[in-house]
Structure formats: structure tokens, C-alpha cells
Structure 1
């Protein structure tokens, strides 16, 4: 745990989806080290429990709840549990995502649907669940995890890019509708995570995994960008952050 932590007055209640690995896990660790109380959500409860215990042993504050972002009821229960326990939700990090890449001609419709359900609908569910609470307080911060795929389209990534373009668009729409709630999109390039471990197209999966092995930045680097946006004064809204490996153009 960091020796310099956020003063108690600045401690925020931060809920993080997809917190069992990758960027979500790194974000939970970083924000807890910064002195915030993190509430972890994901389907893999065993991993969440272990992570929360590690954070507490290191001197941080964390609790966890099972979460399936494709279910609005599950997301609402997750947000409500955090709100009831802590009295407020200051920040929501919509991080849960999947990336099974393939060419469109492969027709892997179930994987397309999964990306739409997790990446896009999951983010919308997070917004729907937390926005009324933040509106009632007149304060809050929603951080949506995008991707450099929200700014360009590559072969085999059309559907994934479509979901991330959509996350960026809805984030901008929410920002324009909000004068009391901060909205940030953090868009990573290749990052160490489990995203490249999944997908039915073995050739594409192997190629993406190899590129990730060569270029990927640590998930902690993306967590640092999220922490930066959260740490700004309440009247400063960092709208978009793109975090890429230096070696890539």
C-alpha cells in the first residue's frame, strides 16, 4: 500500500465492474492504494473475494459483490448494495468487457451478441443503475472504459470496434446532458489482460495474443489514467484519455 494515501475527506466510494482481472483488478488496487473505498463486482466471486482480502491486508478498504453486467437486475442490485452500505456512490468505473475477434464472414453471431451485451449493454446498465443516485446527490463521476478501437476499425475487429465506438458516443452524450456529473472515457491500446484469451477463431486469437505479448502495457498504467481523472477537482472533467504503448503508431 502506498505510504501517501488520499486524505479521509477526499476518500471516495468507487464501484468497479469486471474487477476480477486485468484493468478492473489493477484499478481496484490503485484506487484502494490512493485511499478510496473500492467495491468490486464480477462473476468470478472467488477472485473478487481474494482480491478484496489482499487489499484489506495491505491497509486498504474493499468489499465485493457478484455481478453480471448483462443483467440490469444484477447491476442494479450491485449498485444498490454499495449505496445502502456506504450511503453514496461517488464513482462508477464501467470496465467489464470481452473481445472475441473474428472476420465478419465467419458469422460468429453468438460472439457478436456477447460483445454487444457486455461491452455496450453492460455499460448502459451501469449508467442506468447509478445515474439516478448521482442525480439525486447532484454529484458523481462515471468512468467508461473504451478502447483505441473506439477511434479506428481493423479487420477482424469490426463488431468489437462498433461496441467501443458506441461506448464513446454514449459517454459523450451523457457528458453533454450533465452539468453536475463528470464523465470520462479511458481508451487503452494493447494492455495486459485476459481479453486475448477468448474467441472461437484460433488464428485471430493467436495473432492478437502475440501482438499483445509484444506490445502490451501493464494494466496498472491504465489504472493510473483512471486514478488521474478521478483525482481532479470536482469542477474539472477529464473527458477522454487515450493510453497507448509507446512502440505503436
Structure 2
């Protein structure tokens, strides 16, 4: 096996783990391939013939519609091997620390029924819930599970974020009101609440502009349509000047 020195030390430190060569690893009847599909060609594929090969690779990006799964590509490269797709839904932390979650489902797919049965039993022995997905063509669906994990969290995260903003604003309002109440400014607090409510109602009801700004000046304009027809049109001319009631409205309670 080829490992970087830090990884070698990590394997040696794990009880029950032993570093072996590729030739020694190939003597086992069940081998786990834990490399990406881009590195399949570097494996000693000739040594994996007639063995149960468990592929745990995942896609790093959504595949194209006609792209085969990693397990199917590996099966095509070593047709004499019994390729099984499984364990790709487990994190490295869970495998390294032997985290057992019986509710965690681990799907298994393979075109070899006996190899699939053995891996299903292995998943059960490791403390997980095995799920028989059938032939290897369903490995594509299994490899898509990790890519679907984060999008499924969007709605809960949006709900949590909305609740956080709501509670933050509620706490801010209560703090301002309590401070004013503590200082004896109960009238100020009530006026502030009324002002905020009036401002909100005005904005959402569409009466904000006519309430705050001066009404438009209406100018009459004669428009000649043709030599015999003269049409009078009224054109509103808006001003950027704030009305007195608008100034009182915006400063009320300040």
C-alpha cells in the first residue's frame, strides 16, 4: 500500500490496524477501494480479479445524465471482480471512530448476489442498517446521496435563520422599551410604539407618500390632436417638499 508518512503513522496508531503491501492486501477475499475514480488506473487491477471489491468513491460534482457511476466504471475495468457499491454515505469520522448508528441506512448495490449478501451482513455487523438496492445500475443513485445532503438542509436553515432574526428584533424592542420604562419614560415608550405602528401601517397601506409629501400641483395642458380637435389634459407635478404633517408624523415620539 502507498501512504504518505503521516497517514502511515495514523494507521500504526490504530489498534487492530496493520500496514501491508499491495500483494498482501490482494490475498484477502474482500478488498475496499477507497480512492477516487480518477485514480482507478493506478490500482493493481490484475490482483483484484475474482475478489469482492467494495467501492466507496463519490462524485465531487453532479454527473452528466449519461455518465456511469464510479462503481460501474470500476466493474468495467475489472469484469472478473465482484464489485459492490456501499459505505459511501458514511463519513470518515464515523468510520475512523467506530461510530455506530443503527438508524443510519447504508445502501448496497451489486450485480453479484452473493457478494451483495456478504456486504449487507458486514454493514449489519458494523452497527448500521443495511439497505439492499439491487443491481449495480443503482449505484448511481447511491453516489448521488451525499450530493443531496446539503440542499435538504436549506429549508430548516431558513426557518432557523428566520426565528433567530425574529427573536433578535423582539429582544431589541423589549430592551428599548424596558430601558425607557426603567427611566420613567413610560409616555416616551408608548409614543414610540404608536409611531412605529403608524409608520408601518402607512408604508404597507400605500398612504405613506400622500401623508408625508406635499400634494402634487395639477397643471392643465391643452393638446391639439388635429386641426379641429383640442383636448385638455391635467398633469400632476410632484414636489420633493415634505408637508408639515409629514414632518410631524416622522418625528412623532422622537
TM-score by length of 1: 0.34
TM-score by length of 2: 0.34
Using CA pairs under 8 Å that are at least 6 residues apart, name the structure with larger relative contact order, 1 or 2: 1
Larger Rg: 2
